[in-house]
Amino acid sequence: MSELIQVKNLTKEFNGFLAVDHVNFSAKAGEIFGLLGPNGAGKTTTLRTIATVLAPTSGTAVVAGYDIVSQPEDVRRHIGMLTTDIGVYERFSGRENLYYFGQLYGLSGEKLEQGVAELVQLLDMADFIDKRAGKYSTGMKQKLAIARSVIHNPDVMIFDEPTAGLDVLASQTVIRFMKKVSERGKLVILSTHEMTDAEKLCDRVAIMHQGRIVTVDTVENLKAKTGTQDLEETFVKLVHGDNHRRPDVAVSQKSKTMKIKMSPLMMAILLEVVSILLIGIGILGNMQKWFSVGVGYVFIFAGLIPSFIARRQLRKMRSGPRV
């Protein structure tokens, strides 16, 4: 099997924060390759960068022989990506959606007709394909979104959480579709939180944590290495045992943006302290004639405002939430 994706030191930075940190992996034709990781691990950013939705900060990836930096248009012709944003036109029927997106990819005539018919059959959409998409259930819309993303029959198909929010029957249809296209020699990249699906489907998986790849291997090899019984247990053990740390620049950037949370009681106490200080300055200033009488009263009046806010906050705390 030939390699359809080669990711080489792929890095994506947002304002000093490393979302993707020198990621390397490759995946082959006919393979279902899983990209697994906790929320914030960098999975979606990695996939969006490979799909040329985002430009890499450094590094690159080669998709079907084309470089994502120097040949993005060629990459897009060979890649299809399903994101968590379903993005179908609800005033169109499902069939009209597929015709529209197929034409955007340059398809027409018999080739487009055959492509639509095949996807309708593979994704079990015959019962609703000619109805307006605005009346579809979540599962119907997800099937249509998958069909829309691969209408041009790409060599590489990227699915980001394809079964999220679907019932069991719809999920099984999507899973069967991924198996079928991989059997036809397509590369399927699957990003999911559903460890059961990943364990059943994936030929190999990459565990991602804190923007880096922890390991890449078959599910069976990873379970054997970690002494675990299922992929979920394997995943937890690998992530918790990962000692990779982000560079100091990323940590410092994160700390800059971190907000200090203060309880309502602490806020009320702080406001009362400010009130006492302002009123005290006003009274003492008038007595010692530090400034004119008018200025002193301004301090006193200003001190009443935080006191009023603090007392109001305390009353809310005592009364509790209304049911």
DSSP E strands in 149-198: the ranges are 156-160, 187-191
Provide the token pair at 119.
């996807």
Say yes or no: 308 and 248 in one domain.
no
Say yes or no: 41 and 165 in one domain.
yes
- DSSP-derived pairing of the beta strands 204-209 and 212-217: antiparallel
Q: Which domain, by its residues, includes 278?
A: 264-319
Q: Is residue 132 part of a domain?
A: no
Say yes or no: 170 and 246 in one domain.
yes
Provide the token pair at 145.
């979104």
Radius of gyration of the chain measured on its C-alpha atoms = 28
pLDDT at 253: 44
Say yes or no: 271 and 205 in one domain.
no
pLDDT at 268: 72
320-323 contact pairs (CB < 8 A, 24+): none
DSSP sequence for 226-254: HT-SSHHHHHHHHHHT------HHHHHHH
131-136 contact pairs (CB < 8 A, 24+): 131/93, 131/94, 132/90, 132/91, 132/92, 132/93, 133/88, 133/89, 133/90, 133/91, 133/92, 133/93, 133/94, 133/97, 134/90, 134/91, 136/88, 136/94
pLDDT at 53: 92
53: Cβ contacts below 8 Å, ≥ 6 apart: 81
Say yes or no: 311 and 194 in one domain.
no
Residue at a domain's end among 227, 252, 277: 252
pLDDT at 312: 74
**CA–CA gap between residue 26 and residue 6 (Å, rounded):** 4
Q: Is residue 148 part of a domain?
A: no
Question: Which domain CATH number covers 241?
Answer: 3.40.50.300
> Quick one: which H or E segment has residue 152?
none
Say yes or no: 238 and 309 in one domain.
no
Overall number of domains in the chain:
2
Lateral strand order in the sheet of 204-209:
79-82, 156-160, 187-191, 32-36, 204-209, 212-217
C-alpha distances (whole Å) from 75 to each of 31, 136, 203 are: 19, 31, 24
The per-residue pLDDT string of the chain (323 residues; one tens digit each, 9 = 90 and over) reads 588 999 999 999 998 899 999 999 999 999 999 999 888 889 999 999 999 999 999 999 999 999 999 999 999 999 999 877 767 889 999 999 999 999 999 999 999 999 999 999 999 999 999 999 999 998 899 899 999 999 999 999 999 888 877 888 888 888 999 999 999 999 999 998 778 888 889 999 999 999 999 999 999 999 999 998 889 889 888 887 654 444 443 433 444 444 444 566 677 788 778 878 878 787 777 777 776 767 777 777 777 887 778 777 666 655 544 43
